[in-house]
Structures are given as structure tokens and as C-alpha cells.
Amino acid sequence: MVFKSARAKVEKGWTTTKKLLAMMSVWGLFFSLITISHLSVAFDYDDTLVDSVKAYEKASGAATQRASPTYWAALNNAYDVEKVKYVPFTIACALRALGFRVMIMAERQGTDGDALKKEWRKLSPRSFIFTPDPTAKHLHMQEGHFVAFFGDSDQDMLEAKKVNILGVRIRRGKRSAKNDQYSPGKMGEAVIPLSQF
């Protein structure tokens, strides 16, 4: 009786171990294929990965002119008041774990932005860039094997179409740091549900 009970426990443990090893093998296969292929994904920063309304408000209080270097430096160092959007961040982390190279593009001037780059180095090592011109994001995605671009604005979806990659819409929160066109689903792109959180 004791022998049967011990044997059942060992068999259950062995079955669980085999399932775990099978899942690790599948993950290893995907990771290897994606890494060898140098596949990449890109994420917009403001209103996509983070809710940065409070950072923009803080920068506006610190500088007298919105487009001045003082304003951009204050904005790029106000990441402590930005709130990470959980659904897009989880997607980015999952893609990184599968072997994708993750690029983050902040639609800002890069003035004094080294601390912000350092803050995101684990998710996007060597691939956090500042692109002040929203119509030039596609230029950064031409080099490399990009398969998707996650963004919030209509312009982000157009940038994905310019380089023939999948545009994925992230919903904005109730308040937005941007004033550009925003029409989820209008261009036939995939819209991530609950991505405003």
C-alpha cells in the first residue's frame, strides 16, 4: 500500500517534469528561431508603453517654452511620474522573452535623455531611440527584420504600413499626452483590448 502511494507520487512528479521539459523545449525552439532570424518589434513610448500625462505636466511647469531644451530635459527626466501601461508592457516583455529584439521609440527630443534610456535598458537594451518627427519612425524600422509596430496614433499605423509590417493599435487612456489623430480600428489594424490600462 505504501509502495503504491509512493509510486503514484513519483509518477505524478515525473509526468509534471515531462510536461515542464516539453514546454521548455517548445520555448527554446521559438527563442532559437526568432533569435537566429533577428526578428524585431517596435513600440511607441508615450501613450503606448506608458501613460505620460503627468510627465508632460511636470515638464510644462519646469519650463517656460514647450519646445525648449529645458522642457525636453525636464520631460525626459520625469519618468518617475509616468505610469506603465500593464497590457502593452506585458506584451513587450513576453515578446522579449520569446527572443524578439524590442525597440522603443519616444516621440521627443533626446535632450538629457540618458537616464530614461537607462530606465528601459532591460526591456530594450541599446534600442531606445528618440524620434522627434512622428513621420520618420519608419526610417528606424527599415533596417532590421521588424514584424510589428505597436503604437497609439493613426500616424503610428501609417508608419507601420510604410515598411509593410503589422501595425498593432494600443488604446489611449482617458487623458492623453498627445493631440494627434486617434481612431482605433479605422485603418483595419489589430486593436489590443484593455490596452488602455
Question: Is residue 89 pLDDT above 70, yes or no?
Answer: yes
pLDDT, average across residues 26-43: 92
In sequence order, what are the beta bridge partners of 102? 41
- Is 62 within 8 Å of 185 (Cβ atoms)? no
> Which are the contacts of 173, defined by CB distance < 8 A and separation ≥ 6?
47, 51, 53, 85, 196, 197
DSSP assignment of the chain:
-HHHHHHHHHHHHHHHHHHHHHHHHHHHHHHHHHHHHTEEEEEETBTTTEE-HHHHHHHHHH-SSTTSHHHHHHHHT-GGG-EE-HHHHHHHHHHHHTT-EEEEEESS--TT-HHHHHHTTTTSTT-EEE-S-GGGHHHHHHSSEEEEEEESSHHHHHHHHHTT-EEEEE---SS-S--S---TTTTS-EEETTTT-
Instruction: Name the residue among 115, 98, 97, 94 with its Cα closest to residue 106.
Output: 115
* Residue 35's pLDDT band (cuts 50, 70, 90): confident
Would you kindly state where each structural domain of the chain is located, as residue ranges?
1-37, 38-192
Tens of pLDDT, residue by residue over 126-185, are 899 999 999 999 999 998 899 999 999 999 999 999 999 999 999 998 888 788 899 999
Instruction: Identify the pLDDT of residue 1.
Output: 67
Average pLDDT rounded to a whole number, residues 62-69: 83
**192: pLDDT strictly greater than 90:** yes
- Cα–Cα distances (Å) from 151 to 8, 10, 77, 190, in that order, read 51, 49, 22, 11
Average pLDDT along the chain:
92
* pLDDT value at 11 more than 70: yes
38-192 falls under which CATH superfamily?
Answer: HAD superfamily/HAD-like (3.40.50.1000)
